[in-house]
Amino acid sequence: MTYVVTEYCDNCKYTDCVEVCPVEAFHEDDNMLYINPDECIDCDACVPECPVEAIYADVDVPEKWQHYTDINAEKSMELPVIEERKDPLPTAKTLDELSANN
C-alpha cells in the first residue's frame, strides 16, 4: 500500500504533510504535490496533516480520482523532492470551499 495525493491538492499545495514525512516521499510541481509510491512507507503520518483531505491510501482513493494513483507514480519520478513546508498557493481553498464545488 502507498498513499496518493488527489484532486484537492491541485492549485492548493498545502505542504503540512511534507514536514511529517519520514522518508521524503513528496515531490512537487508548480500546482500540486505527489507521493512517490516506491519511497512511501505507509506510515499514515501525512493524511491527518492535509487540511483539504487530499491524501488517501491507494486502496481508498475515490473512484473519480483513481487516475491520480498513476499520476503520482509518474510525476514523482520526474519532479524534485520537497522537504520543507512552504506557504500554500494563493489559489488555495479550504475544505469547505472545495466540497461546495464538487
pLDDT digits (tens, 9 = 90+) for 28-44: 999 999 999 999 999 99
Quote the CA–CA distance of 49 and 79 in Å, as a whole number. 22
pLDDT digits (tens, 9 = 90+) for 38-85: 999 999 999 999 999 999 999 999 999 999 999 999 999 999 999 999
- Structural domains of the chain, ranges and CATH numbers in brackets: 3-88 (3.30.70.20)
Q: What is the pLDDT of residue 102?
A: 66
56: which strand partners? 4
Alpha carbons within 13 angstroms on the beta-carbon side of residue 101 total 8
Q: What is the pLDDT of residue 100?
A: 86
Would you say the pTM of this structure is higher than 0.85?
Answer: yes
Amino acid at 92: A
